[in-house]
Structure formats: C-alpha cells, structure tokens
Structure 1
Amino acid sequence: MFTGIVQGIATIDDVIQAPGLNTLIVSFPEGRVQGVETGASVAINGTCLTVTRQEGSQLHFDAMQETLKTTTLGELSAGDGVNFERAARVGDEIGGHLLSGHIHTTAEIVRIVRSENNVTLWFEVPGDWAPYIFPKGYIAINGASLTIGDVEENRFNVHLIPETLRATTFGTVTEGDKVNIEVDSQTQAIVDTLTRMGYGRPQQAPE
C-alpha cells in the first residue's frame, strides 16, 4: 500500500526493451533507497513496481506488457523524471489517502493555468471513468494524492501549491502530457454499488 505522499523525483537512466517487457533503470536521490531489498515495492508515477536489482542509488524494475498498456510507463525514456514513493509500513502516517499502486487509466493534461502562488491543471479522462470523479473527492495522479477541484463532464482540475510543484514532476508538465490515474477505492465501490442498484450519478446542483 502507498499513501499518495510523493517522496521525491527520481530519474530514468535507461529503458531496456524486450518482447512484452521493459526494464526501467532508475536513479534515486541520495539516501532514498536505504534498506531497499530485491522484491520491495516502489511506486513509480503511481505504479507499483517490484525491485529486481539494486546498484547503489540505482534500482531496476520490470514492467510487464499489461502495465505498459495501462499506464504511461511505456512512454518513459532516459532522462525523464518520475515521482516515487516507497511502500508504506505499519505505523506510518497516512498523509494522503490509501493507494494500491494499481493504475486504472491515464488522463491527458488539457490546460494549465498559472497564477502567482499556485498552478491549476485540467485533465481529461476517458468517459468510462468520469463517474468516479467528484468535486472535493480524492484522486491519485502520477502517485500524488490530490483533491479534485472543479468537474466538467469528463474533465476535472486540481490546484497545486508551490511545495507540491517543487516535490513532484508537476512543476515541469506541459499541455498534452499524459499521467497515470488511480481513482479513490471507496468512491469506486460506492459508485459501482449504486450503479448495480439502478441509480445514476447524482446531478450537480445548478450554480
């Protein structure tokens, strides 16, 4: 499990491609892989991956075909920055919300609004996932636990403070970039249950 509190930015050193498999070789900031062993779980841009090898501050991960198809990991190349979070341990503070590291879909950044002290990012998700997106609800974007702002059909935004921009890759994103999305598990369970009972998505109150 993960908390959605990104622990820093790591760098892709190399991507070794093989049939149905990409091996990601990732360099982490000094001291961030202390105690990591082969078999440990680390979230890379929100995707739970297993450490297959360690060389100093460099970790190796294998991403299978299904992972490459569902996430943005197949688009990574040497030099790219990625958000990372090591798996939570019993007793750790949950500063965001509980995440599984299993990506549901991807979204495209369709608009970036910059103001003096924050940045607002607008995302577009596939229509099938729009029912799980609610104002003030939780969502994980590239592994970061964020609060949803406004929702317009299958588009939504989040507001990012300077610290979030500094500690994650959101500070360097551009329009057209794709991100990994993990919807809140409790929201998904409630929506699915109501759908099975024949209830549609609640209508938003008129402004």
Structure 2
Amino acid sequence: MFTGIVQGKASVIAQERSDQFMRLTLELPAHRADNLQLGASIAVNGTCLTVTAFDGNQVSFDLIMETLKVTNLGQLSPGDEVNFERAARFGDEIGGHLLSGHVHTQVSISRIERPENNCVLWFDVAEEWMKYVFPKGFVALNGCSLTVGETTDQGFNVYLIPETLSLTVFGEAAEGQMVNLEIDAHTQAVVDSVDRYMATKARA
C-alpha cells in the first residue's frame, strides 16, 4: 500500500528487454535506500513493483507483459527519471490517499498552462475512466496523489504547487507525454455499485 506522497525521483540506469519482458534498474537517492529487501514493494511512476535485486542504492525490478501494456514504464530509457515511493509502514502519516499501485490506464498531457507561480496540467482521458473522476476528488498520476480541479467530457486538470514540480517528474512535463493513472478505489466502488443497482432496477 502507498500514500501517493512521492518521495523523490530515481534515475533509470539500465533496462534489459526481451519478448514481453523487461528488467528495469533504478538508482535511488542514497538516503532512500536503507533497509532494502528482496521482495519489497516500491511504486515506480505509481506502479507497484517488486524488488528482485539490489546493490547499494541500485534496485532492479522485473516487468511482465501486463505491466508493459498498461503503464508507461515500457517507454523508459537510461537517463530518464521516474517518481518513486517505498511502501507505507504502520504508523506512517497518510498525507495523500491510499493507493494500491495498480495502474488503471495511461492518460495524455493535452495542455500545460503556466500562470505566474502556478502550473496547470490538462489530461485527455477515455470515457470509460472519466465516470470515476470528479471535481475535488482524488486521482494518482505517476504515483502522485493529486486533487482534481475542473473536468470536461474529455478529461480533467490538476493544479501543481512548486514543491510538487521540484520533487516529481512533473517539473519536466511536456504536452503529449503519457502518464499513469490510478483512480480512487473508493470512488470506483461507489460508482460501480450505483451502476449495478440502476441496471438491476431497469431490468425489474
């Protein structure tokens, strides 16, 4: 489980590809690499990955076909940076909202607005996922817990503070980039429950 409070950026130092498989190696900041263990979970751009090897602050993960299909991790190259968050522990402060690290889909940055001291990112989102996105609701974008600003039929926006731009990969965001989206599990449960209830009533 994760909180959506990104702990920093990690650098991609290697990726080994084969058929529908990729081994990804990242370099974490040294102060974030304490007590690493094989089998531990780390969210990389919001995707829950299992540590398969580590050497100091260099950490490797195995990515299989579903991960490569659904997330943006298959597009990474050495030198790229990713958001990371190590798994939450009992007693940690939950500053964002609870995340599973199970990415639902990728969304495209359609527009970036930069009024003074602000940054607004707009995302194009498929209709099937927009039913779970509401103004002032929660989403996770590349693992970052964010509050939805405005919504349209085609997508939504988020407002980013300077701290978020500094700490995460959104500081280098560009139009057209693909971003991992995890919708809020509680919102999905409510919407799907209402949909099933209404479908049952319609058949009655």
Q: Quick one: which amino acid aligns to residue 27 of structure 1?
A: E
1:99 maps onto 2:102 in alignment:
no
The runs of 5 or more residues in structure 2 that have no matched partner are 200-204
* Correspondence for 2:150: 150
Structure 1 residue 154: Cα displacement:
2.6
Structure 1 residue 31: Cα displacement:
1.5
1:33 maps onto 2:49 in alignment:
no
The runs of 5 or more residues in structure 1 that have no matched partner are 200-207
TM-score by length of 2: 0.96
Secondary structure of the structure 2 residue equivalent to 1:53: strand
Which structure dedicates a bigger proportion of its chain to helix? 2
1:72-151 aligned within 5 A:
72-151=72-151
Structure 1 residue 19: Cα displacement:
1.8
CA distance in 1, matches of 2:104, 2:56: 32
CA distance in 2, matches of 1:71, 1:20: 13
Structure 1 residue 82: Cα displacement:
0.2
* Correspondence for 1:48: 48
Q: How many residues align?
A: 199
CA distance in 1, matches of 2:154, 2:192: 17
* Correspondence for 1:204: none
Deviation per residue, 1:128-158 (Å, 9 max, x gap):
1010010000000000000000000131000
* Correspondence for 2:64: 64
CA distance in 2, matches of 1:142, 1:101: 10
CA distance in 1, matches of 2:166, 2:115: 15
Q: Quick one: which amino acid aligns to residue 60 of structure 2?
A: H
Structure 1 residue 197: Cα displacement:
1.4
RMSD, aligned α-carbons: 0.8
CA distance in 2, matches of 1:130, 1:31: 38
Structure 1 residue 126: Cα displacement:
1.4
* Correspondence for 1:19: 19
Secondary structure of the structure 1 residue equivalent to 2:31: coil
CA distance in 2, matches of 1:11, 1:126: 30
CA distance in 2, matches of 1:131, 1:17: 35
CA distance in 1, matches of 2:74, 2:126: 19
Deviation per residue, 1:91-119 (Å, 9 max, x gap):
11100000000000110000000011110
Secondary structure of the structure 2 residue equivalent to 1:112: strand
CA distance in 1, matches of 2:39, 2:20: 20
Q: Which runs of 4+ in 1 moved over 4 A?
A: none
Percent identity among equivalent residues? 55
Secondary structure of the structure 1 residue equivalent to 2:85: strand
CA distance in 1, matches of 2:187, 2:57: 37
Structure 1 residue 3: Cα displacement:
0.2
* Correspondence for 2:202: none
Secondary structure of the structure 2 residue equivalent to 1:96: coil
